[in-house]
Structure 1
Amino acid sequence: MNKLNLQGKLKALATPAHLNSLRGIKRGIEREALRIKPSGEIAKTPHPKGAGHALTHGAITTDFSESLLEFITPVSESPEETLAQLKDLQKYTLSHMGDELLWPMSMPCYIKQEDDIVLAQFGQSNIGRMKTLYREGLKNRYGSMMQAIAGVHFNISFPDSLWQSLQQLEHDTRPLQDFVSAQYLGLIRNFKRELWLISYLFGASPALCNSFLQGKNSQLPFKELGQGTLYLEHGTALRLGDLGYTNSAQSSLRVTYNSLDEYIIGLQKAIRCRSDLYDHIPDYQHEAPKQLNKNILQIENEFYSPIRPKRNGRSGETPTQALSRGGIEYVEIRALDVNPFSETGIDLDQILFLDVFLSYCLLKDSPELSWDEQQTCDANLQQVINEGRNPQVKLQQNGEARSLQHWGEDIFAQLSAVAALMDEAQGSQRYAPVIAKLHTWVTQPELTLSGRIIASLVEQDQDSGELALLLAERYKHNQAADDYQTFDSEKLDAMSAQSFLDEKDVVAADSVSFNAFLRDYFSRA
């Protein structure tokens, strides 16, 4: 096989025979948001009935708790359309929420006690009960507070035309899907190596309400302001750090990304390996279960990773079964904080940057990523999470200390070349200006999302909750006043009504007991 470097691929893809292959990137967004009272406290009300049934509505559902909404856009080739869809889904849901608001930050609002976080309810079908019991397991393993954190997931797939061009340029003779899966895994390895840049630019959780700690001690050098806000002076994304979604048992898992089989074997081992940490919690085989099972992972979705290889599954398939059957179809980026300065939680500049950054991760050389190197990548990420906006911060690259600014300059030089090619392919001038704008953030950390948040809080000695509540009220007012752009209220009403009919069909289709359903599920997993 003929291995081209990044520059070689960019040059080859710029030729008339291959330039059009860069068109047709598809994206989808899943945005999480807590429902809150006008006071800023977490809402304890059920999922808004008018928004549809959480089990069967394809676009409006819940995540861990009844109050943690999740909005899921259809797949689209237009980032503007994706954002418009997201805005419409939020507008519609807000119209069924009374005086409640959507919390515009990743770290949760004021929560008096963990019991205020009500587990998501999905009805009495076997699959609905399984979803709730899985969440009860998360509660009993990690606590509910950690599960109240919200994020934005960005899904992306590249067009078949690009895979065909790349395979031709590299003289690769494997079946196309095998080539595609290998290429996506290369993207994932490079993403993990330079994930710290995403946290630096778009980390938006440098502060939190002290209620989040619930009296627990933290070794982080927090400063205080307002009535109860804790913040890291140079922090970026507490959501991704040790206070966020963590699983100490997962530290023993060595899930790696050098081949699809390697990844699948590592993840399947975790869902079959019993954990001493959770052995005391009754599972589904007990009369009053508090978790699905006693393994390191109850199901594959419990595995935390900032990026996942994905394939749309068939009915009854687990994620790794879908990957085994058909290979990688797209990747899911899970490392994005909710952007509080955007009413949709993510803005157009972020989407365009991710298009370029993920294309760069795909096209550049991606050697195998050892477990030790993965640990170094994680250490770099933690350094940026806690100290990313400190001009003196150092990261580890190829065994040597490197300043964030110098490494960032190198990455942006390559991103600029990728953006130029993507603009040429699109016949537009949209990618290059975004890369140029965000390039300036490397040496001006005050321009980053976390920098803007801290500046706003410190200048006004303001609690993060006050800022979030002001933004939440503004966004609800704006969305109520704006017209629908891609959906309309009649279409969304029909989707809501259909979701209740679909849930009834799911219940009616159950033919075995809940325990028998779970026994069968785990025997096939």
Structure 2
Amino acid sequence: MDTQAHFRRSVLENEGIQLLSDIRRGIEKEGLRVNRDSGMLAQSPHPAALGSALTHGAITTDYSESLLEFITPVSNTIEANLDYLDQLHRFTAQNLDNELIWGASMPCIVAGEQGIPIASYGHSNVGTMKRVYRNGLGVRYGRMMQAIAGIHYNFSMPEAFWQQAHEAAGGSGSLTDFRTEGYLGLIRNFFSRVWLLIYLLGASPAVCASFLAGKKDHHLIPVGGQSNSFYLPQATALRMGGLGYNSDAQRGLQVCYNSLKTYISTLREAILTPHPAYEQYTTTAEGEQAQLNTALLQIENEFYSPIRPKRVTRSGEAPLVALQRDGIEYIEVRCVDINPFLPLGIDVETARIIDTFLVDCLISDSPPCDDSSRQRDAENLRRVVDNGRDTNQLLLTAEGEVTQRELATEALSRMKHAASLLDTAHGTTSYSQAMQQVQHLIEHPEETPSGRLLGEMQQGGTAFWQLALKYSKRWDKDFRERPLTPEQSHQFRAMAEASLAEQSAIEAADATRFDDFLAEFYQQYQEISS
């Protein structure tokens, strides 16, 4: 039982309320590079003007060479995060030739699996490991899934909050364990309520027909009887369903968030235990090593989840080792779609909704999860992904089925309390105003991002890729027409040059065979105490 929730809530409802003004956030935002005229996925290498994808701290790539990822510094203000993200978009747009950043989560026009180039990070051991890991994702799940983009929202409470709550609870046990248990409580609540975030923020109800090439068992239908776009009439975020970041092989992986020990143990076994279905993959079509190992997971990041417990790792350290060393430091929300109607894909109001949702998860009672609750959570997520704008559909609770609208209204009532706490801490009414918008979206599903996207497609007889390209061009024009200050331009150019020099230094210093490097990395998992 989560006995901490009372103390977490008490601190924020009383003398510790001001600590909410020091919530720490970081945003990671992905975006495909596409041809400005055709909307086709770019085949060009990562632009040298952007620096090294291996070592740059703010501009890198994810699965594909064409999939940019922007990373903001950690900040205690949403505005600072978004301002830096805006600078990254402007710097990048002004250094792309006949390309732009795709402003949607589901991909642009893709010329089959081989039209998605896997990211390259040079010939160092660490760069080779990143490349081979991506090879593994490609052979296991297909490259198409890896071309989907999203926004990751990193969130943590200030250390002073955990100290005060720990003292209020009597100070028994370590502060590290107390903090970890608090984040696990947040995560359990998140899983039971994530369907509401999917409804509010989902923006991927349709896909380009090219995304479905070779997929015969999908359940989508053509938009307007045409064959260039497919959708589900009441869908919200197909990215989070069976066509998106999903894995049949991982469905049997029962990850428990009742304790950090069981979480670490479950993923450790999945990384160390061979998975027979993957033993067939030895080399790629290009003749490269096909995967890092033949286990169910190559590394922790392969586990697909809408939220992750995280800790900043030391150089060469495996994420599970970092978690065992000092517990959970922050959580990473991974289910936020890119909103094509926003220049950055996210705005201040979206961030306030996420903050309020997470604070509510933090201060609410969080019962332990079990097999039945996990199945309920997964089924509710599936229903809202596929049919979420039918707010009268039924969702599952421990007591039985309830309409989605009723559960959403109940959740909003709790969130309003969290919003009032955030407003008091920040001296504003902005969080409560964001809850008014949530109320409006619950009552008007057609005005959610997914509803707007389908509405515009249907009204204009427009294909998904055409609509996404139209907005991508609009935001690209804005990025290009707002030059950075000389100081900002100098800073980003210097970061790019320094990252290229750092990659060269890493490659020059490598003296270990890759197989030995990899064996040493995996030895860390063997040494994790059970």
Mapped partners of 1:469, 1:260: distance in 2: 43
The aligned residue for residue 512 of structure 1 is 512
Mapped partners of 1:215, 1:253: distance in 2: 27
1:63-78 residue pairs with structure 2 within 5 A? 63-78=62-77
Mapped partners of 1:256, 1:84: distance in 2: 37
Q: 1:283 to 1:111 in 2, by over 3 A?
A: closer
Alpha-carbon shift at residue 5 of structure 1 (Å): 6.3
1:10-89 residue pairs with structure 2 within 5 A? 10=9, 13-15=12-14, 17-38=15-36, 39-89=38-88
**Given that residues 2 and 185 in structure 2 are in contact (C-alpha distance below 8 angstroms), is that contact kept between their aligned partners in structure 1?**
no
**Given that residues 31 and 101 in structure 2 are in contact (C-alpha distance below 8 angstroms), is that contact kept between their aligned partners in structure 1?**
yes
**Given that residues 279 and 294 in structure 2 are in contact (C-alpha distance below 8 angstroms), is that contact kept between their aligned partners in structure 1?**
yes
1:106-255 residue pairs with structure 2 within 5 A? 106-225=105-224, 226=226, 228-255=228-255
**Given that residues 22 and 161 in structure 1 are in contact (C-alpha distance below 8 angstroms), is that contact kept between their aligned partners in structure 2?**
no
- Greater shift, 171-180 or 138-147, is seen at 171-180
Instruction: In structure 2, give the amino acid aligned to 1:49.
Output: A
Alpha-carbon shift at residue 241 of structure 1 (Å): 0.3
Alpha-carbon shift at residue 164 of structure 1 (Å): 2.2
The aligned residue for residue 394 of structure 1 is 394
SS for the counterpart of 1:23 is helix
**Given that residues 279 and 294 in structure 1 are in contact (C-alpha distance below 8 angstroms), is that contact kept between their aligned partners in structure 2?**
yes
Alpha-carbon shift at residue 391 of structure 1 (Å): 3.3
Alpha-carbon shift at residue 411 of structure 1 (Å): 0.7
Mapped partners of 1:96, 1:21: distance in 2: 40
SS for the counterpart of 1:87 is helix
CA displacement 1:352-380 (0-9 Å, x = unmatched): 11111101101000010113311210110
CA displacement 1:322-376 (0-9 Å, x = unmatched): 0000110000000111111111111111101111110110100001011331121
Alpha-carbon shift at residue 429 of structure 1 (Å): 1.9
Count residues with an aligned counterpart.
Answer: 521
CA displacement 1:375-418 (0-9 Å, x = unmatched): 21011000000000013311001140011110011111111111
The aligned residue for residue 528 of structure 2 is none
Normalising to structure 1: TM-score of the pair? Answer: 0.96
Mapped partners of 1:101, 1:183: distance in 2: 41
**Given that residues 218 and 243 in structure 2 are in contact (C-alpha distance below 8 angstroms), is that contact kept between their aligned partners in structure 1?**
no
Superposition RMSD on alpha carbons, in Å?
Answer: 1.9
Alpha-carbon shift at residue 187 of structure 1 (Å): 0.2
Alpha-carbon shift at residue 174 of structure 1 (Å): 1.8
Q: 1:69 to 1:221 in 2, by over 3 A?
A: closer
**Given that residues 311 and 330 in structure 1 are in contact (C-alpha distance below 8 angstroms), is that contact kept between their aligned partners in structure 2?**
yes
CA displacement 1:233-282 (0-9 Å, x = unmatched): 10000000000122222122111100110110011010011111101111
Alpha-carbon shift at residue 483 of structure 1 (Å): 4.0
**Given that residues 310 and 319 in structure 1 are in contact (C-alpha distance below 8 angstroms), is that contact kept between their aligned partners in structure 2?**
yes
The aligned residue for residue 323 of structure 1 is 323
Alpha-carbon shift at residue 172 of structure 1 (Å): 4.5
Instruction: In structure 2, give the amino acid aligned to 1:156.
Output: F
The aligned residue for residue 291 of structure 2 is 291
Alpha-carbon shift at residue 93 of structure 1 (Å): 1.2
Q: 1:31 to 1:288 in 2, by over 3 A?
A: closer
Mapped partners of 1:293, 1:10: distance in 2: 44
SS for the counterpart of 1:395 is strand
Q: 1:358 to 1:156 in 2, by over 3 A?
A: same
Instruction: In structure 2, give the amino acid aligned to 1:269.
Output: E
**Given that residues 177 and 327 in structure 2 are in contact (C-alpha distance below 8 angstroms), is that contact kept between their aligned partners in structure 1?**
yes
Normalising to structure 2: TM-score of the pair? Answer: 0.95
Q: 1:496 to 1:354 in 2, by over 3 A?
A: same
CA displacement 1:69-99 (0-9 Å, x = unmatched): 0000011111011011011111111112111
SS for the counterpart of 1:194 is helix
SS for the counterpart of 1:82 is helix
CA displacement 1:169-214 (0-9 Å, x = unmatched): 3334221111000000000000000000011000100000111111
The gaps in structure 2 that reach 5 residues or longer are: 526-530
Q: 1:126 to 1:43 in 2, by over 3 A?
A: same
Q: 1:486 to 1:377 in 2, by over 3 A?
A: farther
Mapped partners of 2:219, 2:177: distance in 1: 44
SS for the counterpart of 1:70 is strand
Instruction: In structure 1, give the amino acid aligned to 2:262.
Output: E
Mapped partners of 1:107, 1:424: distance in 2: 38
Instruction: In structure 1, give the amino acid aligned to 2:20.
Output: L
Mapped partners of 2:55, 2:17: distance in 1: 41
Mapped partners of 1:437, 1:305: distance in 2: 27
Alpha-carbon shift at residue 9 of structure 1 (Å): 6.0
CA displacement 1:23-65 (0-9 Å, x = unmatched): 2001001001000002100000000110001000010000001
Mapped partners of 2:61, 2:4: distance in 1: 44
CA displacement 1:474-495 (0-9 Å, x = unmatched): 1111011124379710000000
**Given that residues 125 and 507 in structure 1 are in contact (C-alpha distance below 8 angstroms), is that contact kept between their aligned partners in structure 2?**
yes
**Given that residues 146 and 244 in structure 1 are in contact (C-alpha distance below 8 angstroms), is that contact kept between their aligned partners in structure 2?**
yes
Alpha-carbon shift at residue 12 of structure 1 (Å): 5.4
Mapped partners of 1:198, 1:330: distance in 2: 19
1:418-433 residue pairs with structure 2 within 5 A? 418-433=418-433
- Greater shift, 480-489 or 105-114, is seen at 480-489
Instruction: In structure 2, give the amino acid aligned to 1:82.
Output: N
**Given that residues 48 and 93 in structure 1 are in contact (C-alpha distance below 8 angstroms), is that contact kept between their aligned partners in structure 2?**
no
- Greater shift, 501-510 or 311-320, is seen at 501-510
Mapped partners of 1:34, 1:514: distance in 2: 30
Instruction: In structure 2, give the amino acid aligned to 1:264.
Output: I
Counting aligned pairs with the same residue, the percent is 40
The aligned residue for residue 355 of structure 1 is 355
**Given that residues 125 and 510 in structure 1 are in contact (C-alpha distance below 8 angstroms), is that contact kept between their aligned partners in structure 2?**
yes
- Greater shift, 94-103 or 198-207, is seen at 94-103
SS for the counterpart of 2:223 is strand
The aligned residue for residue 95 of structure 1 is 94
1:349-498 residue pairs with structure 2 within 5 A? 349-484=349-484, 488-498=488-498
Q: 1:185 to 1:446 in 2, by over 3 A?
A: same
SS for the counterpart of 2:164 is helix
**Given that residues 209 and 227 in structure 2 are in contact (C-alpha distance below 8 angstroms), is that contact kept between their aligned partners in structure 1?**
no
Instruction: In structure 1, give the amino acid aligned to 2:390.
Output: N
Mapped partners of 1:365, 1:393: distance in 2: 26
**Given that residues 46 and 66 in structure 1 are in contact (C-alpha distance below 8 angstroms), is that contact kept between their aligned partners in structure 2?**
yes
SS for the counterpart of 1:154 is strand
Mapped partners of 1:170, 1:186: distance in 2: 15
**Given that residues 5 and 362 in structure 2 are in contact (C-alpha distance below 8 angstroms), is that contact kept between their aligned partners in structure 1?**
no
The gaps in structure 1 that reach 5 residues or longer are: none
**Given that residues 23 and 159 in structure 1 are in contact (C-alpha distance below 8 angstroms), is that contact kept between their aligned partners in structure 2?**
no
SS for the counterpart of 1:31 is strand
- Greater shift, 165-174 or 61-70, is seen at 165-174
SS for the counterpart of 2:308 is strand
Mapped partners of 2:280, 2:220: distance in 1: 34
**Given that residues 37 and 99 in structure 1 are in contact (C-alpha distance below 8 angstroms), is that contact kept between their aligned partners in structure 2?**
yes
